[in-house]
Amino acid sequence: MRRTTKLLALWLAMLAACSGEPAASGSGSSSAAAAAGDRGHHGHRRGRDVTVMTRNLYVGVDLFRIAAAQTPAETAVVAAAMWRTAQETDFPSRADLIAEEIDQANPDLVALEEAYLFRTGPGTTCDPTLPDAPATQVAYDFLALLEDALARRGLHYERVVAAERFDGQLCAYDGTAAPLDVRITDRDAIL
C-alpha cells in the first residue's frame, strides 16, 4: 500500500507541474481540473481535465515464496517453478489486452505497477565455484512489450518515468533442465 501511495503522490506532483497548481493529496481516481480560461501561478493555461489510468501488470508469481525456502537448493527449485509460472502467464498476450483497454479509455497518463523486466543467464549463481555474472539476456520486458502493443494500435504514449523498485538474481534449477540464472527487476512507470 505504501508504494501505491508514493506512486499517487508522484502522479499528483506531475499533474501539478502540468497545471501550475500545487499538488493535492488523496486517494481513488485522480483528475486535475481547473476553470476554463484561468491561469495558474506559472502562467500555464488551465481548463482541461487530466485523466489517469492505473494498471498493475501482475508479475504472475508470488515472489514471497522465495523467502520461505530453507536451503540454496530449495531456493533454486522454487525459483525454477516461479520462472515457469511467469512464462505461462504469457505477458505478451496480456500486453495486447491492456493496450486495448488503454485505447478504449484514452487516458492522458497511464501509471503502471509491476512493470517487470526478466533477464536470464547461464547459471553462474548455481555453481559456487564460478564467479557470479549478471543475467543480461532479456526474456520479458513488460514495459517495452506494452509500449510496442500501444504503438501497434497507433497510440502515442511516452515513458515519463520508470522507477526501479527491486533488482535481484537467483539460480533457477530443479533438475529438469540446465541451471539458469533468472534476474528480475521490478519497476513502476508512468506513460
The string of pLDDT tens digits covering residues 67-118 is 899 999 999 999 999 999 999 999 999 999 999 999 999 999 999 999 999 9
Q: What is the mean pLDDT of the chain?
A: 82
Let me know: does 51 contact 31? Beta carbons within 8 Å: yes
With bands split at pLDDT 50, 70 and 90, how would you rate the model's confidence at 36? very low
Specify the pTM. Answer: 0.76
Q: Please tell me the distance from the alpha carbon of residue 53 to that of residue 136, in angstroms, as a whole number.
A: 31
Give percent of the chain with pLDDT exceeding 90.
Answer: 60
Let me know: does 174 contact 85? Beta carbons within 8 Å: no
Question: What angle is formed at CA 50 by the lines to CA 49 and CA 55, rounded to 5 degrees?
Answer: 140
- Sign of the alpha-carbon dihedral angle for 84, 88, 92, 95: negative
- Sign of the alpha-carbon dihedral angle for 149, 33, 22, 41: positive
C-alpha cell at 169: 538474481
